[in-house]
Amino acid sequence: MPKYQYIAKTNTGKTIREIEDAATREELVDKLRNRGLFIVSVREESGVRSKIFSTLTARTKRSSIKLHDLAFLARNLATTLSSGVTLLRSLEIISIQTESAKLAGVLNDCGRLVKEGLSLSEAVMRHPKVFSSLWQGIVEVGESSGNLPFVLEKLAGYLERRMEFERKVKGAMIYPAILMVAASLAMLVFFRFILPQFTEMFESFDIQLPPTTQFLFTVTNIVQNYFIFILCGLVALIYGFCYFITSKQTRPLWHKLQLRIPLLGDMFFIGALERLTSTIFILLDSGLPLVSTLDVASRGVGNNEVEMNLAVIKEHVRDGASLSREFSKLRMFPMLIAEMARIGEETGTMPQVFEKISVYYQKELSAKVDRFITAFEPIMIIVMGVVIGGIVISLFLPLFELSSGGM
């Protein structure tokens, strides 16, 4: 069983440095938390092997930043700060522990900026490609209220729930994706290498081929003669689509189109509503004013169409209008949001109300994804069955004519 060296603090602020056996790092973390300890750092016990391992892993850190890295940052920063560790030391510890080389560099730069006299929120704003508007708003609220660990805990919880949901979706999409790739490769190999053999065979018989067989062989000749060009065209098509959905010039058009895609458009819209309501809940519960909350939420919703409608709502709320009334004016947003916002305004429980709405949309989105995947698999199998069946029938029709003619 591996040994782990940990640093933790008690409720009284006493620092504990110990070595303990545990099957996994997560198991040790659970043990320490059950004892009421605040964890500063946990690492595998050093030795010759572990030093070599640490050196190798330090050199092979990922260059990208994943959602897991940001959730790790929020959770550990909340833990170290609540344990009494200074901000600079916390950033230093987490930059060493993170698996992302890029995030480590960003944290080191944030530490440098804090040393120069900037606040953490100002340092975070210097890296907008890494830290979203939600991150910037949360850190700013935490600093102004003096309760940064508390709001970071909320942010960590939200990021972990989103990470779990994305893991579930990706896991569910693995089989359909493998099915599509395998079917596409099989069709490509079939048209490129197998069907040409049948073409030569039927040409030697010198018979009139049925229209379906002629069409099949025409496609085969095109694939065989222009195989490289077809592959280059597919690569260009994929690259063009990626550029279309990421470019600043074309992204608004993509956001408008994605809400109108059959079957998928509803999921895109509910995903945007889930991000919107979750962000409003976190920021309101952290103490950010409503207008500032709407500003941050609109920039993090992930869809330009929804963002523009929220900008209208924000301006009217800034002028004194009620949030529920503004939501009810716009046909884009469901009446559920307007009615629940009205209840929150009347009872003074806006954060709790938006928490319930966000949970509802999380469940709704999860259910729609499950239904889509469940329906996608048989549809894909039926389509492939029709295609393969058509190919087989087209190949056997001339054989039937030959056999009947021979008789």
pLDDT tens string 222-259: 887 888 888 899 899 989 998 998 888 888 898 889 88
**pLDDT class of 9 with cuts at 50, 70, 90:** low
DSSP three-state, residue 24: coil
Residues facing 38 on adjacent strands: 9
Q: Which amino acid is at 383?
A: V
Q: In the 8-state DSSP scheme, what is residue 62?
A: B
Neighbours of 221 (CB within 10 A): 14
Percentage of the chain lying above the pLDDT 70 cut: 90
* CATH architecture of the region 161-407: Up-down Bundle (1.20)
pLDDT tens by residue, 265-310: 888 899 889 989 988 998 888 888 898 888 888 887 888 888 899 9
Q: Higher-confidence residue: 5 or 49?
A: 5
Is the pTM higher than 0.75? The answer reads: no
Element (H, E) at 203: helix 195-205
pLDDT for residue 402: 67
**pLDDT class of 372 with cuts at 50, 70, 90:** confident
State both tokens at 26: 């997560």
Q: In the 8-state DSSP scheme, what is residue 86?
A: -
State both tokens at 359: 């949970």
CATH class of 1-60: alpha beta
DSSP three-state, residue 57: helix
Residue ranges of the chain that CATH labels 1.20.81.30:
161-407
Alpha-carbon distances, residue 41 vs 46, 107, 197 (angstroms): 14, 16, 65
Residue ranges of the chain that CATH labels 3.10.20:
1-60
Instruction: Tell me if 104 sits within 8 A of 171, measured CB to CB.
Output: no
